[in-house]
Amino acid sequence: MLAISGKLIHRLTLYHGILTYTLCGQEYVSSNEIATLLKIDDSQVRKDIALCGVQGLPKHGYKVLALKKSIEQKLSFNKQKDIFVIGAGHLATALTQYADFKAYGINILALFDNYESKIGQMINGKRVFDINRLENLIGRMKIDTVILALPPQNAQEVTNRLVKSGIKFIWNFTPCIIEVPDEVVVCYENIVSGFLQLIL
Amino acid sequence: MLAISGKLIHRLTLYHGILTYTLCGQEYVSSNEIATLLKIDDSQVRKDIALCGVQGLPKHGYKVLALKKSIEQKLSFNKQKDIFVIGAGHLATALTQYADFKAYGINILALFDNYESKIGQMINGKRVFDINRLENLIGRMKIDTVILALPPQNAQEVTNRLVKSGIKFIWNFTPCIIEVPDEVVVCYENIVSGFLQLIL
């Protein structure tokens, strides 16, 4: 399933961020500019960019827009992925409002919650549905991927319902480890482990 | 600075999650139980646990509470780290309410924002201060670490102020690459790269 390594994906998304935000408006970029911003090795940047099939021009470097597009193709940002968000609290709201999801091909269709006060609300243009409608809407809209952003105590019970409904990919933002059958893939978004690498 | 690898830190935080949530109340756990939950190799789990200095008992496995405590020591959860959160939007709020930060030794003291409606509010018992008071409070409270969770367009300007005030570690949740001097460490919390590894 995984054609390119996690570390390469991580670096390419950082390069993409540089091209989108930091160097926006600039025509050319050198591997050295990117390497300096990220404090990594210049040769690493050149190697990664070569893997995207982009060639630089002597003395100019890479065309910003062309390089950005190649990274988007390499990481399949152009293939749109429809997903549901389970939960409608602050984290779910922050993710639904996350500006870059759309650019990365991640298309949030709807959110689900069991709080009456949240059901029917709109978050960044997406509706919050009653969690009781989960199975029905997964089937009707042919969804296979969800973001799990609900309280830990409900994580396993809701996961069981998701699996029964045919969900294949779970992007888990709760701190819980969830039990799923072999054919279901869970991505643990452990936000603390990145920070521990920073301070340890 | 980094005594243990990022991958080991990631696995240990997942084991810690299992011991805290999934197996809470159980006296013993086997490496095989953990390996099965995470769909990784049993020998990997045994190796990681040995690095924490914990020995299992034949036929019983590891004591849940002792193993949990050893992981906490290995990852320095017992050393409390005081931090500020820059921003008070949904993501900042979600992080401030994140149940596990305290268990991981991460102690959020205050948040900062420039919206009048947010200043003075309490989020999970932490006050939102006017961003104009940032430099003053960093100095007075001797803070060297912040979470950056504000809109991309303000990221670099606020980073410059943080660096001038003596901040050494920036945990960056914005999609921007920020420029900092060599002595400042930035951890890029690129939430999308984890997901791309799942679906690519």
Which domains, and CATH codes, for chain B? 6-74 (1.10.10.10), 81-195 (3.40.50.720)
* pTM listed for this prediction: 0.79
Helix (H, G, I), strand (E, B) or coil at B144: coil
Residues B67 and B71: their CA atoms lie apart, in Å, by 6
- Residues of chain A with Cβ-Cβ distance to B196 below 8 Å are 9, 13, 75-76, 104
Residue whose entry in the numeric block shows the structure tokens 């301070």: A199
- The confidence score (pLDDT) of residue B128 equals 98
Residue whose entry in the numeric block shows the structure tokens 């999308």: B192
Which residues of chain A register pLDDT less than 50? Answer: 1-2
Length of chain A: 200
- Residues of chain A with Cβ-Cβ distance to B98 below 8 Å are 191
Contact A104 B196 (CB under 8 A): yes
Instruction: Check residues B132 and B2 and name the one with the higher pLDDT.
Output: B132
Distance from CA of A63 to the nearest CA of B (A): 19
Residues A19 and A27: their CA atoms lie apart, in Å, by 10
Residues A108 and A145: their CA atoms lie apart, in Å, by 10
Residues A93 and A118: their CA atoms lie apart, in Å, by 11
pLDDT single digits (tens) A66-124: 999 999 999 888 888 899 999 999 889 988 987 678 888 889 999 999 999 999 999 99
Across residues B131-159, what is the average pLDDT?
Answer: 95
Q: What is the ipTM of this complex?
A: 0.73
Contact A196 B75 (CB under 8 A): yes
- Residues of chain B with Cβ-Cβ distance to A97 below 8 Å are 90
Instruction: Check residues A191 and B27 and name the one with the higher pLDDT.
Output: B27
